[in-house]
Amino acid sequence: MSLDWIYYAISWILLTWHSAWDAIGVPIDAVIGTNWSWILAIIFLVVTVRVILFPVFVKQIKSQRAMQALQPKVKELQEKHKGDRETLQKEMMELYRKEKANPLMGCLPMFLQIPVFLGLFHVLRRLDPAKQSKTLYGWTVEQFDSASNAKLFTAPIAGKFGSTADELARLGANGGTVKLIAGILVLIMIATTYLTSRQMILKTGWAEDPQQRMVQRLMLYGIPVSLLVSGSIFPIGVIIYWVTNNLFTLGQQQWVLRKFPPLVTPKPGAAGRTGAQPVKTGGLLGRKAAPAPAKPQVTTPKVAGPKPGAKPVNPKKTRPAKRQG
């Protein structure tokens, strides 16, 4: 299947933002060794994609909440059908269908961003002054040449850590500078990728299901380690996209997790504990705020009056009446 439509879409967004920053007055020439109009175009490519995918992100959070709420029932099914994997899978799928929970929804935003990443990777990899077909995907020759010469602290955005001497010569770049800038960005990319997974796991907790726990470990450790190798073939522009996307994710997750904290599954024997705070929830997840428990009213016990003719228990001392003179 041809992916040209993705390359055209990515190019259009990138070129539109570049034209917008040019119209605003961002210098075309390098400032501090950086062509900021192209760097900002890549950064706002991330913003554009994330704004488009925000409804999907909301569905992802709803699905994660639904899956978390179903954990007690899932554990019951695992105990009930221990050793019968086929029946367990059928019962769990039926449970998910009945409760309208989708285990795959949690990964959907990431899967939808893969074509964007691949499209940008392909487009930036073409930024070679020696290319003859400079007008592919809606580019003009002037735009292509401008992007080919775009730099981040004197390192071309089309350069990469593993660039050959021939590639560096065509880009007019210094090999040591490219390796330094690309190496720093790869380390930031690895760190922010790890932090995004760690942030979510610390807030939602480790899954009880062994398969889901394995996926969590893969996301937390496997992907960051793989980037140590694959990062050497990513153009600097692609790494800028990845780092920006990670920072956007960190901020978005922090906002959502603070405003809509994960459900806390009560443990056995915790029912009698006091001091529990109500969970803040709201319109984004379609849930209302949990009402605070009503305070018991303190009533003053009624005191029965003395019976007729009974002597007072503690009679008050009375002063003798004054004699009238």
- For 140-162, how does the pLDDT look when each residue is reduced to its tens digit (9 = 90+)? 999 999 999 999 999 999 999 99
What would the pLDDT profile of 242-253 be if each residue is shown by its tens digit?
A: 999 999 999 988
Backbone angles phi, psi at 31, to 5 degrees: -120, 125
More reliable by pLDDT, 26 or 67: 26
CB atoms within 10 A of CB 147: 26
Instruction: Assess whether pLDDT exceeds 70 at residue 55.
Output: yes
Gyration radius (Cα) of the chain, Å: 33
Q: Where residue 279 falls among pLDDT bands split at 50, 70, 90?
A: very low
- Average predicted confidence (pLDDT) for the chain: 80
- State the pTM of this model: 0.74
Mean pLDDT of the 17-32 span: 91
